Every structure is written in structure tokens, then in C-alpha cells.
Structure 1
Amino acid sequence: MSILIVTESYFGNTSTIAESVAEGITEVLGDGQASIITAGETGTALPAGLTAVIVAAPTHDFSLPNPRTREQARGKGAATSTTRGVREWIEALQPVAGLQVVTIDTSTKTPFTSGTASKTAYKLLKKRGFTDARRGPSFHVADIPGPLLDQELLRANQWAQGFARSLSD
């Protein structure tokens, strides 16, 4: 099995969640079964032989980051030079029928959320022809730059273990 985790991160929170997800997958499926790459480093075609893809992005303005929100993040101290994120990657991505794709995100925890990065990514993937796309969980940060709330790394790891087990059933 091979699971690719595609990330976009500005303050390190989404990258940290992706690492915890990769560790959870590795704990279930073994070494070398999960790899992480940024959306800016990926091409428009997914590698052959993937079992699943996990797409991880931060929530910006109740959606996926875009050029305006990336600039705002840089203004708040984000260390990045990325111009192509998950949104642009999905828009250019060649669909793979039958490939499981799960979207996750980081976001602030609020009583009511009208949108998240994972919801937007899911909709874009479905529109691109990824018929087996689905939404995964949101992992919460205390504020825009973070940090992650207590137990979110553990929750990400446990979610990933369950996801990995579901692939091997």
C-alpha cells in the first residue's frame, strides 16, 4: 500500500498534523507506506500505484488558501514562498477514477463554522472527477498562527490509524 499526503502549511500546524497522520499510517501499515509532499512540489499527475491520497490544508477565510489569504498569512509572519497551494494543485490535477482521496484541515474551533479547507477541497476534487473523495476531520488550532490545541496530534494519529486499518480490511 502507498498513501500520499499532500500538504499546504504556513505556520507549521498543518505540516505537523500531516506528520502525525503519516506516523499513524506507518504504525499500522509499516515503514514506507506513507509519504508527505507539499502541493507546490507535486505535478499534475499522481504517481502510479497509490492506494490513497490525503489532502491537508489550513482553513483560510472558511475555505482553502488563495493568493490573497496567502499574502495575509505572510503579513502575519508565515514563513513561506508558496504560490501554488492545494487549491491550484487540485484545479490542475488529472483525476484518477476509483482512487480514495480524503481531505483534512486545520482550523480554529468555533461553535459554528460555515466552511473549512477540507470541505472546499472535497468539493473541488469531486468536481475534477475524483469519485471516491470524502471529507475527513478538522484538527484545531488556538489561533491563526497556532498552536495546535491539546490532543490534536494524538487525535490525528488515531484517525490515521483507523484510516489505514480501513484500507487493509
Structure 2
Amino acid sequence: MHAVVVFESIWGNTEQLAREVAAGLGGERTEVVDAASAPVALEADVDLLVVGGPTHAFSMSTSSTREAAKQQGAAQVPTRGIREWIEAVSSPARAVPVATFDTRMVTPRLPGSAAKKAMKRLVALGFRPLAKPETFGVHGYSGPVADGELDRARRWGAELAGLSAPALSPDA
């Protein structure tokens, strides 16, 4: 299986979770790449796309919400997040399965989901939803990742691998 995990991370929490999802996916080729440097055309042999980012202002981050994070002390603010990457990515030649995840503060629990918005836009481009969008909790803006969430991310990656396996078999 060739899986690509594209993430946006400002405080490092979403990147940690993306790497755990990728570890759970396993597979022969699992790439983990940040949205700022992710290619806008997927290779033809990609079997699964996973996209994750932080929830900012009830949705995917924007340049202004990333700037606000910088004002709050974030040291590594990406120039392009998943919103801009999705806007630039080419429609797939076939309905590549996709899963999305986001990070949100555990408390206060605010509405909105970057993962749901990302899924909606990716499906509109021709990707096929593999699983419902997933949310992982972090403590405050800067983290750390909430207890148990890294393990849960790895398990979710394994679940995604299991869900995509039937679609990859020649008898499917």
C-alpha cells in the first residue's frame, strides 16, 4: 500500500499525531509530509490519502489564524496549511480513498472541525471518503497531546489500513 499523510502543525502536536497515524498504517510505502511542502499532484499509485490539521476559528487554519498563533508564541508557523494545499491539489485520476483528522483543545470544547471541512473539500475534488473525520485532543493551544491520543491515533491508522485493504485487493 502506498499511503500519503499530509499534515499541518503549528505547535508540533498535529505532526506527532500524523506520525502515529502513519505508524499505524504501516504498509510498504507510507509518506508523511507537511502541507507547506506537499506536492499538489499525488503520484498515480497512491492508495490512501490522510490529511490532518489543527482546528482554528471553527475550521481549517488561515493565514490570519496562523499569524495569531505566531503572536501567541508559536515558533514554526507554516507558510501553507491544509486549506491552501487542498485548494491547490489536483483532482485524482481515480477516486483515491481519503481520511481526515484534526486537533482541538480538550477544554474548553469548542465547536467546528478542520477535519470535516477538509473532507468536504476533498470529496468535492473526487476523493472517496474512507472513514468519518476524526478529532484528537490537545491541552491548550500549544499542547501537549492529551493522554492516550497518540495511541488512539496509531490504532486509527491501523483501522484505516484495514478499511482500505479490501479496496486494494484484486478481487474487490
Matched, 1:123 2:120: yes
Matched, 1:86 2:47: no
State the distance in 2 between where 1:136 and 1:38 align.
Answer: 19
The residue aligned with 1:147 is 144
| Mean CA deviation greater in 78-87 or 117-126 | 78-87
State the distance in 1 between where 2:5 and 2:119 align.
Answer: 15
AA of the residue aligned to 1:151: G
State the distance in 2 between where 1:33 and 1:43 align.
Answer: 16
The residue aligned with 1:24 is 24
What is the RMSD of the two structures over their aligned residues, measured on CA atoms?
1.7
Corresponding residue pairs, total: 165
Deviation (angstroms), 1:142: 1.2
Q: Would you say the 8 A contact 2:119–2:133 is kept in 1?
A: no
The residue aligned with 1:166 is 163
State the distance in 2 between where 1:2 and 1:10 align.
Answer: 26
Q: Would you say the 8 A contact 2:130–2:163 is kept in 1?
A: no
Post-superposition Cα deviations, 1:25-79, rounded to whole Å, max 9, x if no partner, equal 12xx3xx431100111122211120000000101111110101100011111212
| Structure 1 length-normalised TM | 0.90
| Structure 2 length-normalised TM | 0.88
Q: Would you say the 8 A contact 1:140–1:149 is kept in 2?
A: yes
Q: How many percent identity over aligned positions?
A: 38
Deviation (angstroms), 1:109: 2.8
Matched, 1:43 2:54: no
Moved over 4 A (4+): 110-113
The gaps in structure 1 that reach 5 residues or longer are none
